[in-house]
């Protein structure tokens, strides 16, 4: 196939002190059997203090400096997008690794075959039996949050299932599924190896820094009628780097404190277009909390997974389900009490 038959790709990577994983990420991109003259890599960096820039310098990248006072993963992505010039945007995170050298060829196939496909993701996270316990768990279930998994909003398809399970109008096209979404049926899409037609995104979604959010831009597109996505029967490796379960749970509690109730949540009010878990029906959310707190269904799902892939990582699922119920409950009660107490003092 001639080089000019491949669409051009702008890879956008947001970084901030990303030296631990960036080398593997960039090596996997530059090792692709895809014409490298049709691939630009844009790194939007928020004033890293480690060896991030030194590592990046060996991979022919465009380095974009982001104001450290404003930098965040999504702000950096939006900044990188504003400098992109190619047909396809590939939103690859610094902790993503493309698992084989035909990955780009597989991922652009839906764009080449179907004009109505606006965005493409992998069907699964890559399962590596030699990865850490947590990374194996996240890959096997396709999500890092068990409550979100039971709400049907997992990042990727769990290895429990053999075929696409999420909502939308689904068609099996052999190497990939196409799915037509409504805003309320959209799954968690937009990061960890998400590809999208750049021109459509730029013209029909709010992509300016401060307004760009992974899922929100896809709501923008769906509302404009660009509602068909493809899920390639492939995977992408996500190196979470949590280390151990205790560290993961502490960081998750911190994230919820900041992005559900804290300063970051305040910043995003009036800007976000997608409600995430908070937009779910109350009864459904209560049901999921009961499921996660009682262990019966989570244990059953662990056993189902074990029958597919014999890995003990499945069995931390019931424990994490209970932990997440406690974390969500504690953070919610804490900030309701704090909010009411602050209002009392202000009177």
- The pLDDT tens digits for 295-335 are 999 999 999 999 999 999 999 999 999 999 999 888 888 77
Per-residue pLDDT tens digits for 57-108: 999 999 999 999 999 999 999 999 999 999 999 999 999 999 999 999 999 9
CA nearest to 103, candidates 33, 151, 162, 152: 33
At 263 the pLDDT is 63
Containing 229, the helix (H) or strand (E) segment is strand 228-238
Task: Kindly give the residue spans of alpha helices, DSSP state H, lying in the chain.
Answer: 19-30, 52-56, 73-82, 103-113, 133-141, 146-150, 198-204, 214-223, 245-256, 263-268, 282-294, 296-308, 317-346
Q: Is 189 exposed, middle or buried (0-12, 13-18, 19+ CB in 10 A)?
A: buried
104 close to 34: Cβ distance less than 8 angstroms: yes
Q: Give the span between the Cα atoms of 292 and 150, in whole angstroms.
A: 8
Contacts by 335-343, CB closer than 8 A, 24 or more apart: 335/257, 335/260, 335/261, 335/262, 339/261
Q: Which CATH architecture has domain 3-238?
A: Alpha-Beta Complex (3.90)
The pLDDT of 235-257, averaged and rounded, is 87
> What are the residue ranges of CATH 3.90.550.10 in the chain?
3-238
Handedness of CA 12, 15, 20, 23 (dihedral sign): positive
Taking the whole predicted model, whether its pTM rises above 0.75 is answered as: yes
How many Cβ atoms from other residues are within 10 Å of residue 257's Cβ? 18
| pLDDT score for 259 | 65
Q: What share of the chain is helix, strand, coil (3-state, %, to 5)?
A: 50, 15, 35
230: nearest Cα among 90, 105, 108: 108
């Amino acid at each position: 196939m001639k080089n000019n038959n491949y669409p051009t790709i702008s890879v956008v990577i947001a970084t901030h002190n990303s030296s631990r994983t960036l080398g593997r990420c960039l090596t996997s991109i530059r090792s692709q059997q895809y014409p490298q003259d049709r691939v630009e890599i844009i790194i939007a960096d928020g004033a890293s203090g480690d060896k991030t820039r030194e590592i990046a310098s060996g991979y022919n990248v465009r380095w974009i400096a982001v104001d450290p006072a404003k930098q965040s993963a999504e702000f950096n992505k939006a900044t990188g997008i504003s400098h992109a010039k190619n047909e396809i945007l590939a939103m690859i995170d610094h902790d993503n690794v493309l698992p084989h050298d035909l990955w780009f060829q597989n991922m652009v196939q839906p764009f080449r075959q179907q004009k109505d496909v606006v965005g493409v993701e992998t069907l699964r996270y890559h399962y590596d039996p030699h990865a850490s316990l947590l990374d194996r768990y996240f890959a096997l279930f396709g999500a890092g949050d068990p409550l979100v998994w039971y709400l049907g909003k997992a990042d990727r398809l769990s290895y429990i299932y053999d075929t696409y399970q999420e909502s939308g109008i689904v068609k099996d096209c052999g190497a990939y599924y196409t799915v037509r979404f409504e805003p309320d049926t959209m799954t968690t899409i937009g990061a960890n190896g998400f590809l999208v037609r750049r021109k459509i995104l730029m013209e029909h979604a709010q992509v300016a820094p401060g307004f760009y959010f992974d899922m929100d831009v896809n709501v923008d597109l769906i509302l404009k009628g660009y509602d068909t996505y493809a899920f390639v029967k492939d995977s992408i490796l996500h190196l979470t780097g949590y280390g151990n379960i205790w560290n993961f749970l502490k960081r998750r509690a911190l994230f919820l404190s900041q992005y559900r109730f804290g300063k970051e949540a305040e910043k995003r009010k009036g800007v976000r277009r997608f409600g995430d878990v908070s937009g779910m029906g109350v009864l459904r959310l209560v049901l999921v909390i009961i499921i996660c707190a009682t262990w019966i269904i989570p244990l059953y799902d662990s056993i189902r997974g074990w029958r597919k892939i014999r890995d003990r990582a499945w069995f931390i699922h019931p424990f994490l389900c209970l932990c997440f119920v406690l974390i969500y409950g504690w953070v919610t009660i804490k900030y309701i009490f704090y909010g009411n107490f602050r209002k009392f003092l202000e009177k």
